[in-house]
């Protein structure tokens, strides 16, 4: 793993009528997976909206690859808890859309989308409509569409939050496989302690609103990670540590 800074945030703050984000600084290195964990309503999605350029901070600097970026729209792959797939488009067309928005012509987008679906085991669903897929499958498609649009830095906002535990755990392995193959840099938000530990290299812990960073926990578990790791002594120790910090 390279330790080159991909995203660096310094002293970020945002207030509406009340203060939401307070003096947040964090850094994500190339090919790292970091999680941001914090209670519901603390400001995780707001933080992502600022990072991705949808909202504007009152204070603070955001650097991508070491350079301050004030216009950040389109520079991230941003995925939400809801799959937000277009129901009238087939799986293939939904993924193509990612490439088309990025600027590829339809034919090229189609080839690239087919490739991506093949590479990550969804090609047999290419001609399915989203409504015929399970929740977990929809999120897999949404993840690939996000990657098609922009995979340089992925912002995943509680992407598996509405799935049952078994499906979620299979999606974790799916994400880690893609991460490894495509050498992604991932920022993940969650309020699930195990999810944060299982996926991450480091976990940033947020306070309740206004969100500040309480601590950052290094997850020194070996990779590749396996589902049964969550019962290991080391994992349970990290879990206890995280609970005590939250």
Using CB under 6 A as the criterion, which residues of the chain lie in contact with ligand ADP when the complex forms? 16, 20, 38, 40-46, 209
In the complex, residue closest to Mg ion by CB: 45
Sheet architecture: strand order including 154-157: 77-79, 154-157, 186-190, 33-37, 202-206, 213-218
SS3 244: helix
Which residue's CB is nearer to Mg ion, number 44 or number 202? 44
**CB-nearer residue toward ligand ADP: 166 or 245:** 245
Binding at 72: pick from Mg ion, ligand ADP, none (beta carbon under 5-8 Å per type): none
Stretch touching Mg ion by CB under 5 A, among 19-27, 45-53, 101-109, 235-243: 45-53
- Asked if residue 45 binds Mg ion (CB under 5 A), the reply is yes
Tokens 């995780």 belong to 44
By beta-carbon proximity to ligand ADP, the closer residue of 162 and 227 is 162
> CA-CA distances (angstroms) from residue 14 to 42, 53, 181?
12, 13, 36
In the DSSP assignment, the letter for residue 54 is S
Q: Which does 6 bind (CB under 5 to 8 A by kind): Mg ion, ligand ADP, none?
A: none
CA–CA gap between residue 75 and residue 26 (Å, rounded): 18
Query: Per rule CB under 5 A, is residue 10 in the interface with Mg ion?
Result: no
Q: Contact, 41 vs 87, CB < 8 A?
A: no
For Mg ion, the binding residues (CB under 5 A) are 44-45
């Amino acid at each position: 793993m390279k330790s080159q800074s991909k995203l660096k945030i310094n002293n970020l703050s945002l207030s509406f009528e009340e203060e939401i984000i307070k003096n947040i600084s964090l850094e994500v290195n190339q090919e790292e997976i970091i999680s941001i964990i914090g209670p519901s309503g603390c400001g995780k999605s707001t933080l992502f909206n600022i990072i991705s350029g949808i909202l504007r901070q009152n204070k603070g600097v955001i650097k991508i690859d070491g350079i301050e970026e004030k216009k950040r729209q389109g520079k991230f792959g941003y995925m939400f808890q809801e799959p937000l797939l277009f129901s009238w488009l087939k799986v293939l067309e939904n993924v193509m859309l990612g490439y088309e928005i990025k600027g590829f012509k339809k034919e090229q987008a189609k080839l690239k989308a087919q490739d991506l679906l093949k590479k990550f085991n969804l090609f047999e669903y290419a001609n399915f409509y989203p409504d015929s897929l399970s929740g977990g499958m929809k999120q897999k498609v949404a993840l690939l569409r996000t990657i098609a649009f922009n995979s340089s830095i992925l912002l995943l906002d509680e992407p598996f939050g509405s799935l049952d535990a078994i499906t979620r755990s299979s999606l974790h392995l799916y994400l880690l496989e893609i991460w490894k193959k495509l050498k992604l840099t991932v920022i993940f938000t969650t309020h699930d302690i195990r999810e944060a530990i299982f996926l991450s290299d480091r976990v940033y812990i947020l306070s309740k609103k206004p969100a500040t960073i309480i601590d950052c926990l290094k997850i020194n578990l070996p990779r590749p990670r396996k589902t049964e790791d969550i019962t290991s002594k080391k994992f349970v120790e990290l879990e206890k540590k995280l609970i005590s910090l939250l």
